[in-house]
Structure 1
Amino acid sequence: MTGLASIDFRRVTDVEDVRQLLLDIHVEVRGEFGLMDQPFQFVERFDERLSSYASRPGWEAVLGYAEGEPVGFAFAVPLAANTRWWASMKNPLPEAYTEENGVRTLALNEILVRKPWRGRGVARRIHDELISGRSEERVTLLVNPKHGDGKLKAVYEAWGYARIGTQQPFSDSPVYAVMMRPLRIAAP
């Protein structure tokens, strides 16, 4: 297996250049976790969400490669002034906190890493590459707090994210913990 130092990154702003690869990795990774029987995870539903996110201004994906083989990806999009991101919060946040203008908050929509590279810091490297060079003030994400008995949520907390509430953005989706962090975190 390849070392962490040999991961190369590819930034993509046109989803059509990588759509099938993202769909394939989604099926592989979510299948390994036994999630592909859930309607929200069906490849068609994932592709609908992917198309929706990628149609918005500022969408970007970062794919990681080791020796030419894809190891994982992340993609994100800035929240527009008319976003519905905050509409499904279980306990609404103050309006000043949720006011968006297209440059305030980056929404990390997905991050997936293939099995041979999990537990080796690859997800963090893909995440950090995605947010590097971004101009937004903060970054938000949704995580199923039950996934991995809370271990995935704990990973995001270790990356500087804090839970700010819960939401269920789609009728067939899980109830997610909503997490937020400043885009830039000062080194300790």
Structure 2
Amino acid sequence: MVPPVLMSMASGPIHLPPEMVNNCWRALSELIVRTPWPKTGVARQLRSALLATRREERATLLVDQGHPMVHALYRSWGWGWTTLGDLRPRLPGAPLFHAMLLGLPVAP
């Protein structure tokens, strides 16, 4: 059985495994660290705290491809072990995003 298409990416449709299709999805749109906390580890701590108690097996992240240093940072945090593809929102002038995937530990 081929799983349904959940999103259309710039690189083509994404077919996700049934266990991803049947789970409830949550979204965090943006995480911004205010001055004076950038480059102190606060962003990683916030991200870890937000994901620590989630029951989902995976989390996805969209990174603007125009920001390779941010992309590299998320890779260093473990994101992107599986690349889903590229996504461009259907808005005029929207940037191209790289969709990254992170496996989550099973929460109690």
Please list every run of 5 or more consecutive structure 1 residues that lacks an aligned counterpart in the other structure. 1-83
Which residue number corresponds to residue 97 of structure 2?
176
Q: Is the CA contact 1:106–1:138 (under 8 Å) kept in the aligned structure 2?
A: no
Post-superposition offset of 1:169: 2.2
Which residue number corresponds to residue 30 of structure 2?
110
Residues 10-159 of structure 1 aligned to structure 2 (within 5 Å) = 86-91=6-11, 92-96=13-17, 99-103=20-24, 106-147=26-67, 150-159=68-77
* Identity value in percent: 35
Post-superposition offset of 1:140: 0.3
Q: TM-score, normalised by structure 2?
A: 0.76
Q: Is the CA contact 1:168–1:176 (under 8 Å) kept in the aligned structure 2?
A: yes
2:40 maps to amino acid: R
Which aligned runs of 4 or more in structure 1 are off by greater than 6 angstroms? none
Q: Is the CA contact 1:90–1:165 (under 8 Å) kept in the aligned structure 2?
A: yes
Q: CA RMSD in A?
A: 2.6
Separation in structure 1 between the aligned mates of residue 105 and residue 45 of structure 2, nearest angstrom:
15
Separation in structure 1 between the aligned mates of residue 103 and residue 58 of structure 2, nearest angstrom:
4
Separation in structure 1 between the aligned mates of residue 99 and residue 62 of structure 2, nearest angstrom:
5
2:103 maps to amino acid: P
User: How many residues are aligned here?
Assistant: 99
Separation in structure 2 between the aligned mates of residue 115 and residue 165 of structure 1, nearest angstrom:
32
Please list every run of 5 or more consecutive structure 2 residues that lacks an aligned counterpart in the other structure. none
Write 1 or 2 for the structure with the bigger share of helix: 1
Which is greater in Rg? 1
Separation in structure 1 between the aligned mates of residue 20 and residue 87 of structure 2, nearest angstrom:
17
Give SS of 1:139's match. Answer: strand
Post-superposition offset of 1:146: 1.2
1:139 maps to amino acid: A
Q: TM-score, normalised by structure 1?
A: 0.46
